[in-house]
Amino acid sequence: MQKNEVMNYLIMAGSTNHMLRGDKLLKDIGIETALVPAPAEYGSVCAIAIRVKKDVVALAEDLLRKNAIVIQGIYPDLPKRLSGLIEKMQQDILSEAFIKIMKKIESGEELSYEDIILLLKTERKAEMDALFSAADQMRKEIVGDVVDVRGAIEFSNVCMKDCKYCGVRRSLPTLERYRMTEDEIMEIVHELHAMGLQTVILQSGEDSWWTAEKVIALIKRIKTETGMRITLSIGERPQEEYARFKEAGANNYLLKIETTNREIFEFIHPDDDYDERAKCSEWLRELGYLNGSGCMIGLPGQRPEDIARDILFFKEMGINMIGIGPFLPAKGTPFEKYPAGSVEMTLKAVAVTRIVCKRVFIPATTALASLDPDGQIKALQAGANTVMLINTPAKYRYNYQIYSNKNMIDLHAAIRAIQVTGRKFPSYLKIDVEGNIDAGDTQKQ
């Protein structure tokens, strides 16, 4: 290859919406693309460009124009001239701007939007290590060393929504759909209760068969038979239903905003409205739920600026549980060819969220554990304090693959993560270190 030979071109679309639609069009006909930050010198309207290989740039341009995608410009993606030497030297140095933010954290000052962006953008190893360690210290001082363990039952994969990223979306004709019966659910709830767990998470697609009456009957049964705390994660419902669930005994509700970038939100949710989703979160807060939200990292076109806004949204909405996981491609979905989100960016987002939102539950997400076998451990070391076990019965699990190759976090994995990170088991857990149910007081701390 010649030293400065151009191998790739950057296509700049007229808006975020055109960029997202254009990228999808190209991917769908098999053209390899990547969404990358646009170099400032190209005076971008839209800060993300579509990168394509040189040999397909003309074909890509033609296809985009035929589909009315506005192209603001097409530029060569010039190879970097740096050998990477200076970059490597910088890895071990904390920049002045970074140190300034660390000082702010130390003195208890609130971080600004710009500070958050700088933290999310850092790629220097020394800075990332310092960020994770600051978040870990904040976690220790504010919520302590105990890792909260919760059990999740994915009780129905029937969904009326068609979210483009999701492996249980409506338009997946070959997916075998299931609904657990109330008795099947209760059997698992009793198992969790016997393990000493205090919270059960009931999650499903947006399944209207599960009417408010049926959900309420289930809540009441769980309360009467076990007294466990209940987290519902069953999507968008009318305010009046949220109120009735709360009255029946539901304690927490998990409804992720997924992204606060409206254009991306609308692009990935063909039948959802950003304002309605945000409204649901507000209702849940007003009704007194412990309110759960979260976002995906690595959505098409998403920039660190968007993630910074997500984190400020969690803070401003007073969100109590914040699940941050990488986007993972799911087979058969419109996004199956999209790249997964990065482990590093997810960990940075977890760390910054702990620093900004402080006294909140942050799970080490299943999605992160699916992308990196040590993901759970890394998240626990970067500000997370909760682990969610997947307790869906084996015969149904395969059909709740919201993304492909989903890691089924079990008790053993959780125990290992808690031990490796030197954290404490919750005193309510009635298991020994091998994961056997044990009503006695064993060495769990």
Interface characters, 239-278, with ligand SAM (x: CB under 6 A):
----------------xx-x--------------------
Q: Which stretch binds ligand SAM (CB under 6 A): 245-253, 325-333, 386-394, 412-420?
A: 325-333
Dihedral through CA 159, CA 343, CA 101, CA 142, nearest 10? Answer: 70
Which residue, 132 or 403, has its beta carbon nearer to ligand SAM?
A: 403
CB of 271 to ligand SAM, least distance (A): 12
Strand ranges for 262-402 from DSSP E: 290-297, 321-326, 363-364, 386-390
**Beta strand pairing status for 229-233 and 252-254?**
parallel
Sign of CA dihedral 166, 169, 172, 177: positive
**Beta strand pairing status for 48-53 and 363-364?**
unpaired
48 is a site residue for ligand SAM (CB under 6 A): no
166 is a site residue for ligand SAM (CB under 6 A): yes
367 is a site residue for ligand SAM (CB under 6 A): yes
Residue of 117, 153, 200, 235 interacting with ligand SAM (CB under 6 A):
235
The CA distances from residue 46 to 14, 17, 42, 71, 269, in Å, are 7, 9, 10, 11, 21
**Beta strand pairing status for 71-76 and 8-13?**
antiparallel
Q: Which stretch binds ligand SAM (CB under 6 A): 40-48, 64-72, 97-105, 163-171?
A: 163-171
Residue 87's H or E segment, with its range, is helix 85-90
Q: Is 395 exposed, middle or buried (0-12, 13-18, 19+ CB in 10 A)?
A: exposed
Residue of 116, 330, 388, 389 interacting with ligand SAM (CB under 6 A):
330
CB of 111 to ligand SAM, least distance (A): 25
CB of 236 to ligand SAM, least distance (A): 7
CB of 244 to ligand SAM, least distance (A): 18
Residue of 328, 343, 379, 417 interacting with ligand SAM (CB under 6 A):
328
Q: Which stretch binds ligand SAM (CB under 6 A): 188-196, 199-207, 383-391, 437-445?
A: 199-207
Which residue, 193 or 237, has its beta carbon nearer to ligand SAM?
A: 237
Largest Cα separation within the chain, whole Å, is 73
Residue of 26, 296, 319, 368 interacting with ligand SAM (CB under 6 A):
296
CB of 388 to ligand SAM, least distance (A): 11
327 is a site residue for ligand SAM (CB under 6 A): yes
Which positions ≥6 away from 117 have C-beta within 8 Å?
A: 304, 305, 308
Tokens at 375, concatenated: 């993901």
Which residue, 257 or 418, has its beta carbon nearer to ligand SAM?
A: 257
Window 88-117: residues binding ligand SAM (CB under 6 A):
none
Q: Which stretch binds ligand SAM (CB under 6 A): 75-83, 87-95, 114-122, 323-331?
A: 323-331
**Beta strand pairing status for 48-53 and 8-13?**
antiparallel
Which residue, 16 or 401, has its beta carbon nearer to ligand SAM?
A: 401
Instruction: Count Cβ atoms below 10 Å from residue 380 Cβ, excluding itself.
Output: 26
CB of 207 to ligand SAM, least distance (A): 8
Phi, psi of 311 (to 5 degrees): -65, -40
Closest CA to 383 of 83, 140, 55: 140
Instruction: Count Cβ atoms below 10 Å from residue 118 Cβ, excluding itself.
Output: 20
Indicate the DSSP class of residue 77.
-
Closest CA to 69 of 132, 129, 140, 16: 16
Window 391-410: residues binding ligand SAM (CB under 6 A):
402-403
The answer to whether residues 71 and 64 touch, using CB atoms and an 8 Å cutoff, is yes
Strand partners, 431: 437
Residue of 18, 64, 131, 205 interacting with ligand SAM (CB under 6 A):
205
Size of interface with ligand SAM, in residues (CB under 6 A): 20
Which residue, 235 or 363, has its beta carbon nearer to ligand SAM?
A: 235
CB of 365 to ligand SAM, least distance (A): 8
Closest CA to 285 of 235, 231, 242: 242
Which residue, 83 or 209, has its beta carbon nearer to ligand SAM?
A: 209
In the complex, which residues of this chain contact ligand SAM (CB under 6 A)? 165-166, 168, 203, 205-206, 233-235, 255-256, 258, 296, 325, 327-328, 330, 367, 402-403
